[in-house]
Structure 1
């Protein structure tokens, strides 16, 4: 199912309507002028809803010296958002910590207004991604399962294989997110 058809199906079924302070997930990458890009499947906390706009909070971590990317965790380098200058200015920096390798990190949160193109059921995204994987990856080889690699290995694998397919950038991002969120978390 294409992302736009998935969105329409969810809207008609009521699945895209989330209540306040629940976790919701973007159904596509969202590029916002005042933030940057929030990536498909990123966990967001819905703070309030006003018509077709949601006020959300995204929480994650950033390595010292890189304030343009919000990661899910220091060990789990899933990119939740890539920020522009306005997004960087809107960041709230939290507690600093050091990872097992001596790298400095800090927690961050960002509050933003986004279109109500979210789902409360992340699994719906992964179902679509698994179908896409089964159709596309298995043309040349056995379709890999997410637990074959670590969360940090999947982006480069999907990127290298994606060039050999007719998948769109949106489909490749969906696959990357699917593999990362369902990978081995070491």
Structure 2
């Protein structure tokens, strides 16, 4: 009986602390009750849910930081944002290590912040499928569809933004499509 209690308890903890992915651009807060936004979590960014309080969750966001800038990137050397913070918000970044890419040192970091528990999912695949569909259906109306591997991760945001206004893609989905394109760019594995 005691083993069953531990198994159920472990299962409940695993579901609360499992990896989650942002479905949309989500506001980040300093605490569970604050209305002041201190940053943004980007679509497809992976977070670990640490705690739940009311309609908010405390999440841990990991990635790479360039010279102490208040942003966490998906990989070192690419401008693929996981989260961006207000530089005056006092967010504490925990350094986990560092790497050098093209002569620039990037710190592997993690930070915690609160966000609403809505629009988080445990499966990133449907987000990528939606983004790919939006890209395929809308970005070939005026010209041939550019392959995802045609541009680098750092080139895709400006390429997409320069043409996105001419598509049927809702502005709320722009960042989802950009994240998909960047993560499937020619310089990504």
Deviation by residue 1:148-175 (Cα, 9 ceiling, x = unmatched): 3332221111111213335333221111
Distance (Å, rounded) in 2 between the aligned partners of 1:23 and 1:87: 25
Q: Aligned to 1:22, which of 18, 22, 27?
A: 18
- TM-superposed deviation, 1:40: 0.9
Equivalent runs, 1:94-173 vs 2, <5 Å: 94-99=96-101, 101-116=102-117, 117-173=119-175
Distance (Å, rounded) in 1 between the aligned partners of 2:17 and 2:53: 14
- 1:60 matched to 2:56? The reply is no
Residue 49 of structure 2 corresponds to: 46
Residue 8 of structure 1 corresponds to: none
Deviation by residue 1:40-86 (Cα, 9 ceiling, x = unmatched): 1111112233453222110011111x422111121333111110146
TM-score for the superposition, normalised by structure 1: 0.78
Any unmatched runs of 5+ in structure 1?
1-17
Distance (Å, rounded) in 1 between the aligned partners of 2:126 and 2:166: 26
TM-score for the superposition, normalised by structure 2: 0.77
The change in CA–CA distance for 1:71 and 1:88 in structure 2 (over 3 A counts) is farther
Q: Secondary structure at the match of 2:16?
A: coil
Any unmatched runs of 5+ in structure 2?
1-13, 31-37
Report the structure number with the largest CA radius of gyration.
Answer: 2
Distance (Å, rounded) in 2 between the aligned partners of 1:75 and 1:97: 10
- 1:75 matched to 2:77? The reply is yes
Distance (Å, rounded) in 2 between the aligned partners of 1:107 and 1:54: 23
Q: Secondary structure at the match of 1:19?
A: helix
